[in-house]
Amino acid sequence: MHEFEFIDWIKTYLGNKGNHDQIPVGIGDDMAVIDFRGGHLLLGSDMTIQGVHFEESQATAEQVGHKALGRCLSDCAAMGGEPLAAIISVAKPVSLSEEWLKGLYYGMGELADRYRCPIVGGDTSGSPERLVIDVALLGRCESNPPILRSGARVGDTLYVTGPLGGSILGKHLSFEPRIPQATLMVRNLPVHAMVDISDGLSSDLNHLCKESGCGAELWVDRLEAVISHDARRLAEKTGNLPLVHALDDGEDFELLAAIGLPPDQLPSLGENIVLYPIGMITSERTVSLVYPDGTRSALTPHGFRHF
């Protein structure tokens, strides 16, 4: 079983263990939803490992801390939620200096401060080879129900919050989680489904369609506008089309949303948020690229899998 098949197995096996009465959404979305005293809590975690999620030679300690917490905050944005508190487990190799370790916490602390997410505890351990950081985030949805992957409706327009591809050149360490944007979106727009683009657009769109029981088409002419500068730079090195990097690269941490309004009816949400229309939700359970001349090709998910 590869990673996604194994997650399906876990979901089935654990689904009847313990009491799920207060768990409207468990494994399979960006975060779980837990009912508590009439409110919606969100719970999720992300593990960040030296040599897997960052290379020590290419990232500062502050950037690693930023990424470790930012990944969880991005999940919270994708649920339309706000952070309540985070906890951090860190396993530290002997070789890591005290200064570097402090830098890691500076990176997390700065982001925690900006998004009003207190870091309230965690665990410390030794690690024989590598730095491992696990961040667990508790969030809440107070003024709106959580936005799930499963809510997309046929006819919804697909929007992304920013350019995609080539994040390995730097953005994966410096992205800003789209929490303010998500808050504005869920308050002002009919957002039916949302996911953050962590595995890659082709892969995360596939997850959204699968959970919603629908398909999608992506408009190649519109995708041109969301091919990032870094996707173009990386394409020069790899020989791939820049579009391929925009579709398949992971860790952009932009939001992909299915919204019940076409581009010409979308109100402006202010200068800090741009929504790029890139396609629409369809009833056929396939995901296609539609070219300007009307031809179509199937889009195969090619995002990153850990195993």
If binding is defined by CB under 8 A, does position 3 make contact with a copy of itself? yes
Which of residues 38 and 294 has its CB atom nearest to a copy of itself in the complex?
38
How far out from the chain centre does Cα 65 lie?
Answer: 17
Rounded Cα gap, residues 25 and 269, in angstroms? 29
Within a 10 A sphere around the Cβ of 22, how many other Cβ atoms? 10
8 part of the interface to a copy of itself, by CB under 8 A: no
- Asked if 227 touches a copy of itself (CB under 8 A), the answer is no
**Token pair for 2:** 């590869």
CB of 135 to a copy of itself, least distance (A): 9
Largest CA distance in the chain: 59
Q: Rule CB under 8 A: is residue 1 a binding residue for a copy of itself?
A: yes
- x/- map, 35-74, a copy of itself, by CB under 8 A: -xxxx-x-xxxxx-x-xxx---------------------
Among residues 47 and 273, whose Cβ is nearest to a copy of itself? 47
- DSSP, residue by residue, 65-129: HHHHHHHHHHHHHHTT-EEEEEEEEEEE-TTS-HHHHHHHHHHHHHHHHHTT--EEEEEEEE-SS
Only one of the segments 106-114, 158-166, 236-244, 249-257 lies at the binding site for a copy of itself (rule: CB under 8 A); that segment is: 106-114
Q: Which 155-214 residues touch a copy of itself, going by CB under 8 A?
A: none
d(C-alpha 273, C-alpha 193), whole Å: 18
Which of residues 31, 152, 223, 226 is near a copy of itself by CB under 8 A? 31
Site residues for a copy of itself, 244-303, by CB under 8 A, read: none
**Which range of residues in 4-12, 56-64, 147-155, 277-285 is near a copy of itself by CB under 8 A?**
4-12
Rounded to a whole number of angstroms, the minimum distance from the CB of residue 79 to a copy of itself is 11
CB of 97 to a copy of itself, least distance (A): 11
Q: Which C-beta is closer to a copy of itself: that of 136 or that of 154? A: 136
CA quadruple 192, 42, 213, 257: dihedral positive or negative?
A: positive
Nearer to a copy of itself, 69 or 223 (CB): 69
> Whose structure tokens read 């925009």?
246
With CB under 8 A as the rule, give the number of residues binding a copy of itself. Answer: 77
How large is the C-alpha radius of gyration of the chain? Answer: 19
Site residues for a copy of itself, 115-134, by CB under 8 A, read 115-130, 132, 134
For residue 120, give both structure tokens: 């309230």
- Tell me the closest approach of the beta carbon of residue 305 to a copy of itself, in angstroms: 9
131 CB-near residues (< 8 Å, 6+ apart): 49, 50, 56, 64, 90, 91, 92, 93, 96, 104
Least distance to a copy of itself, CB of residue 178, Å: 18
**279: Cα within 13 Å, side-chain hemisphere:** 27
CB of 110 to a copy of itself, least distance (A): 8
Of the pair 31, 299, the CB lying nearest a copy of itself is at 31
Which of these ranges, 84-92, 163-171, 234-242, 283-291, lies near a copy of itself under the rule CB under 8 A?
A: 84-92
By CB under 8 A, is residue 145 in contact with a copy of itself?
A: no
Answer whether 119's CB lies under 8 Å from 109's CB. yes
Residue 117, φ and ψ in degrees, nearest 5: -120, 90
Residue 101 binding a copy of itself, by CB under 8 A: yes
